[in-house]
Amino acid sequence: MQFFDTHAHIGLTYDDPIEQLRVIQKAKNAGVTRIVSINNSLHDFDIVYNNLKSLSGIYHAVGVAPSEVTNPGKDWIAKIENSLQLPNVIAVGETGLDYYKQFGDKHSQIELFITQLELAQKHNVPVIIHNRDAGKDVFDILSEKIPDSGAILHCYSENAEYAKKCLDMNIYFSFAGNLTYRNARNLHETVLNIPLEKILIETESPFMIPAQNRTHKRCMPEFLPSTAKFLAEMLEMDLEELSIQLWKNSCKIFKLPE
């Protein structure tokens, strides 16, 4: 069996480049053979990309998260566009809206988000979306601006009704370790009410540790099979059968060979 971690913050898991390489090796030993590395800032993207660029099975997204809205970096648009030309850079993100911590102001967040959606459209890549307490605005903007290559609602946190509304768009739903929490009823209901072909899984490392791995201080890509096992039990599916479908879904949205 092989698994595809569609969202892992390798640079936040460890600062040390040697430790980052160990994280990747442990993941591969656990069957997690493809990982999309995510960074919140363009500065962090440069550091992590240069450290991991020679590794097989490691892909990258480039973008500016809402947390960086007040300081996206000099010439940040050109930086994203240039980075999208690099090998194994396959998506824009993470970007989106976060009204929980009120980074900057809503107008600035929305402007940053829309610009990156337009960049994803221009460069024919999907976009990875962060949504926290901003579901209505995220939906309304995607209804007008979703790139042709599609979007991933990462670490999905809305309910089943919201997901059903999104099914008319080319949107995938990525579930992290919080899917395994007993009180995550909105997520449990969601996975039972959307097509399997639209489901992805991620670790959101170093956050969202699966319940089975809660003795650890931080989440690691090697824990992804725990979320997969929980999902298989929920869907009453054989784990290997589910892993094959999740792999296909991941490869499809990121335009990678299976």
Q: Is 79:46 a contact under the CB 8 Å cutoff?
A: no
| 30-43 tens-digit pLDDT | 999 999 999 999 99
DSSP state of 102: T
The pLDDT score that the predictor gives to residue 51 is 96
The pLDDT score that the predictor gives to residue 115 is 98
8: pLDDT confidence band, cut at 50, 70 and 90? very high
Rounded to an integer, what distance in angstroms lies between the CA atom of residue 95 and that of residue 183? 27
| 185-220 tens-digit pLDDT | 999 999 999 999 999 999 999 999 999 999 999 999
The pLDDT score that the predictor gives to residue 210 is 98
Rounded to an integer, what distance in angstroms lies between the CA atom of residue 214 and that of residue 196? 27
DSSP state of 205: B
Q: Is the pLDDT of residue 102 over 90?
A: no
101: pLDDT confidence band, cut at 50, 70 and 90? confident
| 128-183 tens-digit pLDDT | 999 999 999 999 999 999 999 999 999 999 999 999 999 999 999 999 999 999 99
| Amino acid identity at 256 | L
125: pLDDT confidence band, cut at 50, 70 and 90? very high
Which residues contact residue 53 at a Cβ distance below 8 angstroms, ignoring those fewer than 6 apart? 86, 87, 88
Q: Is the pLDDT of residue 96 over 90?
A: yes
Q: Is 10:52 a contact under the CB 8 Å cutoff?
A: yes
Q: Is 211:177 a contact under the CB 8 Å cutoff?
A: yes
Average pLDDT of 120-126?
98
| 52-75 tens-digit pLDDT | 999 999 999 999 999 999 999 999
The pLDDT score that the predictor gives to residue 199 is 98
Average pLDDT of 43-56?
96
In terms of phi and psi (left: phi > 0; alpha: psi -120 to 50; beta: otherwise), the region of 236 is left
Rounded to an integer, what distance in angstroms lies between the CA atom of residue 44 and that of residue 136? 29
Residue whose pair of structure tokens reads 């892909």 in the numeric block: 59
Long-range contacts of the stretch 178-185 (C-beta < 8 A, 24+):
178/208, 179/227, 179/230, 179/231, 180/210, 180/211, 180/212, 180/226, 180/227, 180/230, 181/211, 182/211
| 18-29 tens-digit pLDDT | 999 999 999 999
The pLDDT score that the predictor gives to residue 58 is 98
The pLDDT score that the predictor gives to residue 119 is 98
Q: Is 27:224 a contact under the CB 8 Å cutoff?
A: yes
Angle value at C-alpha 156, between 126 and 25, nearest 5 degrees: 70
Report phi then psi at 159, rounded to 5: -105, -175
Rg (CA), the chain: 17
Rounded to an integer, what distance in angstroms lies between the CA atom of residue 227 and that of residue 212? 9
Q: Is 145:194 a contact under the CB 8 Å cutoff?
A: no
Average pLDDT of 90-103?
94
| Amino acid identity at 4 | F
